[in-house]
Structures are given as C-alpha cells and as structure tokens.
C-alpha cells in the first residue's frame, strides 16, 4: 500500500511511502509551490491513500487581524487537492490534525521541533507514517545504524 502525505500551504510538502509486510519505506519526498497541485497528479494517481494536514482559522489569529484582507493559500491548496483526488477517483482522502504531527515524527524516528520553519516534506512524511502506524499497524521507522 502506498500512502501520500501532504503538508499543504504556500510551499506544500509531500512524502510518498510504501507499507509492505508491516515495514515503511520512503519512496519520494520533496516540496512544490504549485498551488493548483497539478505537478502532484502522478503521485496522487500512484497513492492508495492520501493524508493531508488540516487547516482551520484559529480564533486568536483571526481576532488579531492576522488574516484581514489576505487570501488563504493553504485552504486553496486543500481545495485543489480535494478536486484532483475526486477527478482521479481517489476516495481514500484522510485529514489529520496538526496535533497528530508530533507523534508522527516520533513514529518516523525524527525529532519534532515546535514552530520550526521549512519542515514541509518532513511534516508530510510524519503524517503519512502516523497513518501507516495507527491505521495499518505498520512498525514505526527504525533508527538507521
């Protein structure tokens, strides 16, 4: 089974992993700035499950004016992802909350640093691994020697 993790935003991280015999193998990971997600179509087609990080306007940020007169790129990317998934018959679209990311990092044998910028593909990988371990009962990623 192949799982595509997505960390949507202005820079969208992605990670395609494979789960076979309860083992997780990373296949491809990188970032894209394509807001329409068109360059992701081959990976969307290849994936059996697509897992993406949810985005909600946080009340404290909204009340502070942080989103006044700004378009919301993350929501636009998620909309593109949903549209492309539907067009390609992908019904296994799973949303995960940002709060699941730290545990995903642990399962992926990576160190989570709260607030660290530029970790888009790592976040996507953490979401894919979290799904693999919690839903498919795959083994967490082992440390490399």
CA 16 remoteness from chain centre: 9
**Position 141 pLDDT exceeds 80:** yes
The CA-atom distances, in angstroms, between 130 and each of 24, 113, 124 are 11, 17, 10
pLDDT at res. 21: 97
**Position 64 pLDDT exceeds 90:** no
Least-confidence region, from 22-26, 37-41, 53-57, 90-94: 53-57
The whole-model pTM stands at 0.93
**Position 92 pLDDT exceeds 80:** yes
**Position 93 pLDDT exceeds 90:** yes
Residue 145 — pLDDT band, cuts 50, 70, 90?
Answer: low
Which pLDDT tens digit goes with each residue over 44-57? 999 999 999 999 87
Domains of the chain: 2-60+72-135 (3.30.420.10)
Q: Where are the alpha helices (DSSP H) in 48-135?
A: 59-63, 73-87, 101-107, 120-135
Burial class (CB in 10 A: 0-12, 13-18, 19+), 20: exposed
For residue 21, is it left (φ>0), alpha (ψ between -120 and 50) or beta?
Answer: left
pLDDT at res. 69: 74
């Amino acid at each position: 089974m192949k799982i595509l993790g997505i960390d949507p935003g202005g820079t969208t991280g992605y990670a395609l992993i494979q789960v076979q015999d309860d083992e997780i193998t990373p296949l491809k990971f990188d970032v894209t700035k394509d807001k329409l997600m068109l360059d992701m179509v081959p990976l969307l087609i290849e994936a059996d499950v697509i897992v993406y990080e949810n985005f909600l306007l946080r009340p404290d940020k909204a009340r502070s004016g942080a989103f006044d007169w700004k378009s919301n790129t993350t929501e636009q990317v998620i909309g593109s992802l949903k549209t492309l998934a539907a067009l390609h018959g992908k019904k296994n679209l799973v949303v995960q909350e940002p709060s699941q990311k730290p545990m995903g990092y642990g399962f992926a044998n990576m160190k989570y640093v709260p607030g660290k910028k530029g970790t888009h593909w790592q976040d996507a990988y953490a979401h894919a691994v979290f799904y693999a371990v919690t839903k498919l009962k795959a083994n967490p990623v082992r440390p490399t020697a």
